[in-house]
Amino acid sequence: ILNVEQSPQSLHVQEGDSTNFTCSFPSSNFYALHWYRWETAKSPEALFVMTLNGDEKKKGRISATLNTKEGYSYLYIKGSQPEDSATYLCAFYGSSNTGKLIFGQGTTLQVKP
């Protein structure tokens, strides 16, 4: 059974704080790692698709790193804003998964103004 774990489960920060969360995934049969942001009452929105060990991707104040050998990815948010409040999901895509994503439980971020 493939296991994708995210920590922490939830996080409360003040506006302006920088924060980061972790996604752990199987290090074997790796193909890609996806990050999504899911705001309440909206659809999950893709942030990054990461494929190479050592990959770093950035979108505005949000960035992510990937370590496929040890099986983890970090998502960083610099200078958190209230609009960053959402659940952040990572999903593992294995080379034998035939198109299927295995999701972690998510990290729910609340940014207080």
Omega of the bond leading into 8 within 30 degrees of 0 (cis): yes
Residue 41 found at the interface with other proteins (CB under 8 A): yes
Among 64, 66, 89, 109, indicate the residue that binds other proteins (CB under 8 A): 89
Listed ranges 22-30, 54-62, 70-78, 104-112: which one lies at the site for other proteins (CB under 8 A): 104-112
- In 3D space, the residue among 12, 8, 23, 34 whose CA is nearest the CA of residue 80 turns out to be 12
Residue 2 found at the interface with other proteins (CB under 8 A): no
Burial class (CB in 10 A: 0-12, 13-18, 19+), 94: middle
Among 8, 29, 49, 54, indicate the residue that binds other proteins (CB under 8 A): 49
